[in-house]
Structures are given as C-alpha cells and as structure tokens.
Structure 1
Amino acid sequence: MAAERYVDGGLQRHVSGQQEGDASVPLVEVPAARRSLSPSIEEKWTRRPHCREEPDHCSSDVAASPEPLDMLSYLFPTLRPQAFFPPDLHSLCDYAHGFSEPKKIHKGRGSAASLEEQRRPRQDGEDSASSGGTAAACVDRKLLSAYMSQLRQLEQWRFLCVDGEEMKEKKKHVLKQKVRAGVPDCLRGVVWQLLAGVQKMKQEAGYEPDMYFKLVTSKIWTEDSLTNLGPIIARDINRTFPKHILFRDMHQKGQQALFNVLKAYAIFNPDVGYCQGMGFLSGILLMYMNEEDAFYMLVCLLHKHNMQGLFTPGLPTLEKYFFQFQRLLQKHMPRLSVHLRNEGVEPSMYLSSWMMTLFSYNFSFDCVVKIWDVFLNDGEKMLFRTALAILQIKQEDLFTASFEAILEALKLTPSQLDANVLLETALNVKVHNSTLRELEEEYFEEKKMQALDQSGNVADPDE
C-alpha cells in the first residue's frame, strides 16, 4: 500500500507491506488532488523515514505522525497541495504569512467557530454532546499551532532558499545561528545543496546539463578497469542502511538509485573509483534528494570539501585526520589521551568509520542530520569537534576501561547518544580552522622529515 504523510513539515512517501491496523505507523490515503501532481516532483521530494527504534543505523520504522494529510486539508481547506513542496516555497511562505495570526478554526467541513467561543467553558445545562466538539476543537488548535509554527520556521528560511549564495556571503552569522538551531527537515535537501555550493560548483566547472544521464548510461562501464566494480558496489549497497525502507529491498528503486550514483561517480572520477564508505554518504543524500542531485552533492563533498583523499589509495586524508585528532585530543583531554595510549588504543581503531561516513554509520539519524547541517556550513572542523565531543561525553567511563572495553564502548556509544547533547557538546569544543591548518603543516613536515631520513639511510652507489 502506498501512502504519503507529513513528518516535521516534510512530505514522506511510505510504501510497505505493513498491515493497515498497525497503529504505530498510520498510513493515509493520498487525496485525488495529491495524486495529480507531476511524478517528477513527487520523486524529487521524496522524504526519508525518521529512525526511532533501531539505533545501529536507519530503521524501517517510521515515527507516527500526529498530523495526517486529510487533517491538513481539514485545517487549511484553501491550501493548494503543491504549497508544501519546496519547489513552491514562495507560495508556502506567503500562505504562512497570511495565517500568522489565525482568528478562526474549522470544527468541521463547512462550519467555523471563533477561538474565543471554543475556549469558553461549557455552562451548566448545555448539551453534553457538545463536549465532543470542544475536545475536537482543542485538538484542532494544537494541530493548527503546530502547523503555524512549522510554516513560520519555513518562512524564516526563505532568505536562504531564495537568495542562496548571495545571502551566504552577506549574512554568515545569521546563517550560522539558524543552521545550529536546526534546518527544517522538509528543506534539508535544498539547504544542504546551498550550503555545499553545488550550483556554484556546477557553473564554475561547466558541467553539461545531461552529464549525469550520460554517466549512468555510459558504455565505459563495460571496460576492464571498471567492470569489476559492478559486483563490488552491488554487494556493498545491500549493507548500506539495510533496515531503512528505501534500501532494504534488493533491486528496488532505492538500491538502484544508490547503484547509479556510485557507478556515475566511479566513471566521473576513475582515480578514486569506488571505495567502501561512499555508499553511506550517497545513501544519506538520496533520503533528501533525487539521484542526480545526490550525485552532484557527492562530487561537491569529495572535491570542494577535500574529502577525496578519504577514498583514494593509501587514504592520505584519513592518515592526516588521525594525526590532527591525536594532537587535538592531547590538547583538550590530556589525561584521557595518556590513558588511551597506555592501553594501546589508537585513533585509527575508532575514527575511521566516523570520518569516512561523516558519522552516518552506527549513529542515530537525529545525530547524523544535525552533524551534517553544521558540517556543510562550518567545514571539517565540525568533524573533529564531534569526535572529541563523543570522547568527552564518555571519558569518565573510558578512564576505568581496558583495551577491549574501550573499543566496545566506542563502538556502542554512537547509537546511545542524544543528538542535542552531542551537538551542544561539540559546538563547545574549541577547534578552529587555523589550528587545523597548523596541524596539517606539522603533519606534512613530519612526513617530509621521515622521507628524508629513509633516503639518507640509502648509500649513493656513485660515491
């Protein structure tokens, strides 16, 4: 059964074999007006289910929505269905502005009552049957208040979605505050692309409009250098968010989109090709945007945000991250750093999966999206802040743990973290871009000295 719903203000399509009587995931039939929408728009703005039950990674369970779609029509009978789609953000914001102070609320289709009348306590002698209408009105007011709050929040984000790159430069401090306060879930796909600078990258690089289509349908894939990647990618996508409804079924739309994105990137950048970990990045992106946008977003992450070295042979960027993190750990938590070193626990033993997947593996979804929000605006310093925050939250337990217990704790901790606590702790960790640059210079200087020492030990045969 296919149905759509709104969660956190965002449209979500839920397709599953779940029984209709299951109250934990109420499914709402799509009205005829909704079905008439263009399939391309519906596909482009398909949303991801929220994770609640299974913390290892995304669950197939969907948080129950208190605002079914027919209630939206009930509360806003004049609202066009398209107004909740991000492509029609202007209409949505204009509509929200007009309803900033609602004076009436519908008790039923075709009737209305003032809020004051609904708030008036029932007098003795009034028909007791009216209590049901009063209770319904209370529920309606709560729903209306929730929708108004979401609409006002969307209106506040209009400055970014409308002005884009120009507003990013003019009001960086305002954008920084809003990102840290939380990006509306129904706009994350749009906002992430703006924060990452995808459109600017495409213009500067001069990519052809149909480049993604050409890559996906390219015959280069059959060449010997790439033909072996197909089975490897197919094997790995079965392990990518296997409990998430979008990717859990083999050979279905979600897995096919993920395969296409990874295949296109392998052809686009043969020097990197495909590496484990890229599937998690692409999977997160596909939960918020169509596969073409996800591809360009992946290109932007790996190139503009200097993450390409996380997946090239030798993993040079990852090695640099280990060095930088070790120095930062010594600075911020010297006692814990000494204890971990004495127990033989190195950053490479726990930091790899965090960095290569941008914390999308084994973390709750709330943690993942909040980290990504800030990372795309602040840059790689957010990755180090988050990693240090995890150790800071668990440091008391780690102090008394041995080697095996430390690794087990660091493996289980991500799924147990509260997203708000993690974000607040991470933002309080002082890591600056200038510090990372200094550590990067120190890392390369040390690598240079090691290379000189090794070459000095080799005698010149001409001497």
Structure 2
Amino acid sequence: MAEVNLADYDRYGFKVESQHVSRQQWEKMHATVVNSDKKHLPKWDALFRSNRGELPERSDKIKKLIRKGVPTQFRRKVWLKYSGALDRMDMNPGVYLAMVGRERQQIDRGVHPVNEFVDIIERDLNRTFPDNLYFRADPPIAAPAPPYWPGNAAPDGPISLIASLRRVLVAFSFFNAEIGYCQSLNYIVGLLLLFMSEEEAFWTLVVITENLLPAGMYTKTLSGTITEMKVFKDIVKDKCKPILTKVKEGGIVELDMLTSPWFLTLYINVLPNECVLRLWDTFFYEGSKILYRIALAVLKLIESDVIKLKDAMEVVQYIQTAPKRMTDVDKLMKAAFQRFGSKAVGHLSHHDIDRKRNEASAALNGGSASPSARPSTSSSLSSRS
C-alpha cells in the first residue's frame, strides 16, 4: 500500500485536514483540547482517588465536570458507567459472544443469507471512515494502535477495526430484530471501537438505541426520527425562528431534512471529531436533550450568516457545511448550555422535550401517543435541567 505520513492523522486515526478544516485550524483546536485535558485532569484524578479508582454515582458535581470536558483517557470509563452500558454488560455475561455465534449457527443450518441485514452491513463496512487509519483493509504497518483502545498493549501488527465493526453490527442485528441494522449505526459503532472493546461497544449501542434515544429512531419506518424532527421543528420555531423561516421561504427542502442526519449519526461527520467527542461526553450522561441543545447551538451560531444569504441553495449548503467548520469546541458547548444572551439556547429540559414528543407522536398517530414517544432516560438522570 502507499506510504502514509502519520503526522497527517490525529490521535484517533482521522485525517487532520479536510475541505472544511485547514491544518492551522485543526492545530488550534487540538491545542485547545489538550490544554483543556491538562486543566481538568487533576480534578478527575482526585475524583478517582476518592472513590478507590472507580467513578461515583450521579451528582450535580459530576454533571458539571463532564460538561467542562472529560480527559480523553477517561472517556471509555465515563461513557460505559453513565450510559448504563457497563451495568447491562455485567448483567448479561456471554450474550455478546452468543450473538456473534448466531451467524455461524445459521450458516451451519444452511440458512443464506443469515439474516436480511448482513449484506447491507457488508456494503457499509468500507464506507465507514474510509480515510481513518484503523478502518482500512490494509492499515499502514507503522500505525500504532488507537491510543485509548483496550487492545493497545504491544499489538502484534497493524490493527484494522473493520472485522470488529462487522462482528458488532451483525451481532446487534440478531440481538435487536426490530432495528436489525440502519445506516448511521456503522459510524456510531466505529467511533466507539476507537475507545473500547467489541463487547463494550455492543452494549453501548444497545443502551443508545433502547434507552438514550426514543424508540423507532433506527427502525425501517424511522418513526422515531420523524417524531423527533417534528419536535425539533417545534422547538426551533420557539427559539430560532429566523432560520426556520429562511429555509421555508427557499422552498427547496424542509429544515428537518437537513438536521435529521445530525440526530441519526449523533453528529458524526457533521461536526469536527473533537466536538463530537465532547458532545458524547454529555450525551452519555444527560441523554437525548443534548442532541437538541447542540442542534440549537449550531443554528444560533450560524443564524446571522444564514439570514444574510439571498440564494435558497446557498442557505441549504451553508447549513449543511457550516457545522463541519466549527472547530471552537468550548464556544459550541457554551452556546449549548448558556441560557441568556443573543446566542443562548435558553432553558430546555427533558420535561420540555418529552411533552413536545408526546404531542408530536399523538398528532402523527391520530390522537394517541405511539411507543416511539417513550420518554428519554430522564428518569435515570440526576437533573432534568
């Protein structure tokens, strides 16, 4: 294979430069993230020391710490603990391996294809992060293991995560027959695998689809996604109406068509990776309201620029591409949680979202809320604010 310059890749194996982010912009973002890690590391170290090396139960203190940023080396533990994935995994020993083995059982029985999703998964494997060092069929020999991946110790050779991605996705397609597989899940699992083992990524995907997000987000009908976009549109009408009006006036596409990929991929390929990871820190602790807060923050930050545009297609393209250039992680997170000021999202709680979700679901289902309107994980969260 062609030689690669490892200096062109970040610590997660992604290319530093893109058509949206220059090397200089990336270096500035990276320096900010590294400095943030150093700044908050002593508090996290003290937290672990005071709890005998473990993470404590939920509290306002933990929520504030997480909102300020989780040092990269602690992300795996934080995500697993506060998402509920660790508990699910501990309560279901052997289940992941059993799901992995289900494919072989089907093959031995002469069943082909083993289920309706395997061929689709196969097609998506090489489309998942094609420029990432660890998702290439022929990874460069010089590439180290992902820095915070559990298998980092003395790898025997170059690591490709494609086989791991396939196992997790196929196992999940057997485990959750209602969803099976939906495009977007490959990106979510791919990013998880840079931080954790296959089994951990599997159970994290389970809690994302069963607990952290509303039902129906990834089913064939995408009923949950349709409901969420109706909810989001209603919230935008309250908090960011000028953009909604601008898009509607253009007559090319509805705003929900532009923003639904943000929710489905949990912002992968929408925001720069460091922003995605910071967002995920809070998402795994606070649930789906974070997706709304970030979406509103993005719209608030680009609102003045969008309103100035005259051409309808330019409006659409700007909304699609502007988030990819948002390299100021702290600015984005501040906008998401700030309650006052011209760029503020304001108050937006799980209660607000659940109420609107029930209303939207009832409207879409002739007056009665559907199962897709199940509440988010707000009941298990320490705060609904």
Same fold (TM over 0.5): yes
State the 1:56 CA deviation.
6.7
Structure 1's 151 and 439: CA in aligned 2 closer, same or farther, altered over 3 A?
closer
Partner of 1:53: 17
Q: Which amino acid aligns with 2:175?
A: F
Matched residue, 1:419: 329
- The answer as to whether partners of 2:40 and 2:69 remain within 8 angstroms in 1 is no
- Distance (whole Å) between structure 1 residues aligned to residue 112 and residue 238 of structure 2: 48
Deviations 1:33-80 (A, max 9, x none): xxxxxxxxxxxxxx73465323779x9xx98xx9xxxxxxxxxxxxxx
2:299 pairs with 1:409? no
Name the structure 1 match of 2:151: none
Using a 3 Å threshold, how does the CA distance of structure 1 residues 264 and 173 change in structure 2: closer, same or farther?
same
CA contact (8 A) 1:242 1:248 kept: yes
* Aligned-residue offset at 1:352: 1.7
Residue 351 of structure 1: how far off its partner (Å): 1.3
> Which structure is higher in RCO with an 8 Å CA cutoff and minimum separation 6?
2
The 2-side partners of 1:330 and 1:373 are apart by: 28
Q: Which residue of structure 1 aligns with residue 124 of structure 2? A: 236
Question: Matches of residues 45-124 of structure 1 in structure 2 within 5 Å?
Answer: 48-49=12-13, 52-54=16-18
Q: Does residue 98 of structure 2 align to residue 214 of structure 1?
A: yes
Alpha carbons of structure 1 residues 151 and 272: separation in structure 2 relative to 1, 3 Å: closer
1:195 paired residue number? 82
User: Offset of 1:347 from its aligned partner?
Assistant: 2.7
User: Secondary structure of the residue that 2:87 maps to in structure 1?
Assistant: helix
- The aligned runs of 1:126-145 (5 Å cut-off) are none
1:445 alignment partner, one of 362, 366, 376: 362
SS at match of 1:310: coil
CA distance in 2: counterparts of 1:56 and 1:357, whole angstroms? 19
Structure 2 unaligned runs (5+)?
140-158, 339-344, 369-385
Q: 2-side partners of 1:446 and 1:284: how far apart?
A: 35
Counterpart Cα distance in 2 of 1:443 and 1:150: 40
Match of 1:254 in 2: 161
Contact 2:67/2:282 (<8 A) preserved: yes
After superposition, residues 17-416 of structure 1 pair within 5 angstroms as 17-18=3-4, 24=7, 48-49=12-13, 52-54=16-18, 152-158=42-48, 162-164=53-55, 167-169=56-58, 172-203=59-90, 206-207=91-92, 209-218=93-102, 219-222=104-107, 223-224=111-112, 226-249=114-137, 253-344=160-251, 345-401=253-309, 402-416=311-325
SS at match of 2:268: coil
The answer on whether the counterparts of 1:257 and 1:291 sit within 8 Å (CA) in structure 2 is yes
| TM-score scaled by length of structure 2 | 0.75
Q: Distance in 2 between matches of 1:147 and 1:279?
A: 28
Q: CA deviation at 1:449?
A: 3.3
Alignment check: 8 A CA contact 2:179 2:218 kept: yes
* TM superposition shift of 1:276: 0.4
The secondary structure found in structure 1 opposite 2:135 is coil
Pick closer, same or farther for the CA change 1:211–1:163 going to 2, 3 Å.
same
Q: Write the distance in 1 (CA, Å) between the matches of 2:37 and 2:350.
A: 39
CA RMSD after TM alignment: 3.1
TM-score between the two structures when normalised by the length of structure 1: 0.63
CA separation in 2, counterparts of 1:266 and 1:250? 26
Q: How many residues align?
A: 324
CA distance in 1, matches of 2:302, 2:238: 17
Q: Is the 8 A contact 1:221 1:267 kept in 2?
A: no
5+ residue gaps, structure 1: 1-15, 27-46, 67-144, 452-463
- Give the letter for the 1:405 counterpart: E
Once residues 228 and 221 of structure 1 are traced to their aligned partners in structure 2, the CA distance between those partners, rounded to angstroms, is 12
Contact persistence 1:51–1:364 (CA under 8 A): no
The 3 A distance-change label for structure 1 pair 148 and 186 is closer
CA contact (8 A) 1:350 1:411 kept: yes
How far off is 1:321 after superposition?
1.0
Q: Quick one: percent identity of the two aligned structures?
A: 24
Distance 1:51 1:191 in 2: 26
Q: Distance in 2 between matches of 1:373 and 1:338?
A: 32
Q: Residue 350 of structure 2 corresponds to which residue in structure 1?
A: 433
The CA deviation string for residues 178-236 of structure 1, in whole angstroms up to 9 with x for no partner, is 10111010111111101101122345xx42x2221222122355435744432321211
Q: Distance in 2 between matches of 1:374 and 1:270?
A: 29
Contact 1:261 1:282 in 2 (8 A): yes
User: Does structure 1 retain, via aligned residues, the 8 Å contact 2:247–2:255?
Assistant: no
